[in-house]
Amino acid sequence: MHRHLITAIILSLALAVAAPAQEFPARRASDSRQQPLSVLSIIPAQGEPGMTVTLNGSGFNDGTAVFLGSHQLAAAAVSGKILSFELPDLPPGVYALYLKRGDGATSRPYNFMLQPLKPVAAALSPDTVSTCAAGREREVVLSGANFQNGAHILLDGAAVATRFISPAALSFLAPQLPAGMHQVQVKNPSDAASGILALFLDSKPEILGASIGAEYVSYYELVLTGRNFQQTSTLVADGKRIGTGNQVSGERERLVFLGCSQLVYQRHPYDPTPREIRLQVVNQSGEESGVFTISAP
């Protein structure tokens, strides 16, 4: 009788000890689900639309939403400690960034600076313009991204007349500037500016062709076509230098400037037999064209 009573007491004590041990893990799991939302770092701490922001902290789950001001954003919880989202296309400024979980828990707000979307300058077409070019020959198309209505092209820091083609293309007419490299960038109405591209204004003369023109009793005209010819250009014909302007006393041959794309060489041949003539144009700056060869008297 006493033996059965002792056995019953021992069993009762064993059950009383075991019951809390079975409930303890479930209680810990429940505590984990109710962990407060906490943000330890925001990377980056500021950015422009389209950038991805990563939050490190604790208490994140698949039901955690990100708010930027009053705007709820799609977010992805990589784990309970990492959450990422993409910055939306909103006006630039400082927004309150905070988290809200499905159970109603919220984090404290953090100030986040949304920067204006920067224009991207990718390429110029063409990237070289002849100083001799005129009209639409001077048009340059700038391709890229994020161009806004009202965007301006800056040439060496000064705004030039800009034609808006699309958010990915703008154009302008290269003004008359000194030859050499010039800086081109885009500035949106928000004052956000792109990186810098290089535009080269080329003043080097080039002979593209030569042909025999009008013929007279003692001379004929050799017509040179090309680019970047100047009023002060000099023609070197087989080593002999012929200048433009007034004819030098005692010198019969001369060079006539008809425009930046055409020169006329008034040549007085000693012999009407055709032979190879080597021609080169030299500008006052010292820039020289390549040598052009033609068969003529």
Q: Does the pLDDT of residue 29 top 90, yes or no?
A: no
pLDDT tens sequence across 30-69: 443 568 899 999 999 999 999 999 999 999 988 899 999 9
Same domain, 214 and 291: yes
**Strands 220-227 vs 262-267: parallel, antiparallel or unpaired:** antiparallel
Q: Does the pLDDT of residue 260 top 70, yes or no?
A: yes
In the chain, how many H helices and how many E strands?
1, 26
Residues of the domain holding 96: 38-114
The residue whose two tokens read 């939306």 is: 88
Closest by CA to 39, choosing from 18, 58, 15, is: 58
**Verdict on whether the full-model pTM lies above 0.85:** no
Please tell me whether residue 25 adopts helix, strand or coil conformation. helix
Same domain, 126 and 89: no
Number of compact structural domains in the chain: 3
What average pLDDT does this structure show over 114-132? 95
The overall average pLDDT reported for the chain is 87
Does the residue 32 lie in any domain?
A: no
Phi, psi (degrees; rounded to nearest 5) at 15: -65, -40
Please tell me whether residue 15 adopts helix, strand or coil conformation. helix
Q: Give the separation between CA 96 and CA 289, rounded to whole angstroms.
A: 63
- The reported pLDDT for the residue numbered 15 is 40
Cβ neighbours of residue 293 closer than 8 Å, sequence gap 6 or more: 276, 277, 278, 279
CATH number for position 96: 2.60.40.10
Look at residues 96, 114, 132 and tell me which one is the last residue of a structural domain.
114
Q: Give the separation between CA 232 and CA 235, rounded to whole angstroms.
A: 10
Same domain, 291 and 211: yes
pLDDT tens sequence across 206-243: 999 999 999 998 899 999 999 999 999 999 999 999 98
The residue whose two tokens read 């302007």 is: 245
- The reported pLDDT for the residue numbered 22 is 42
**7 band by pLDDT with thresholds 50, 70 and 90:** very low
Same domain, 261 and 195: no
Look at residues 145, 169, 202 and tell me which one is the last residue of a structural domain.
202
Same domain, 126 and 194: yes
Same domain, 210 and 140: no
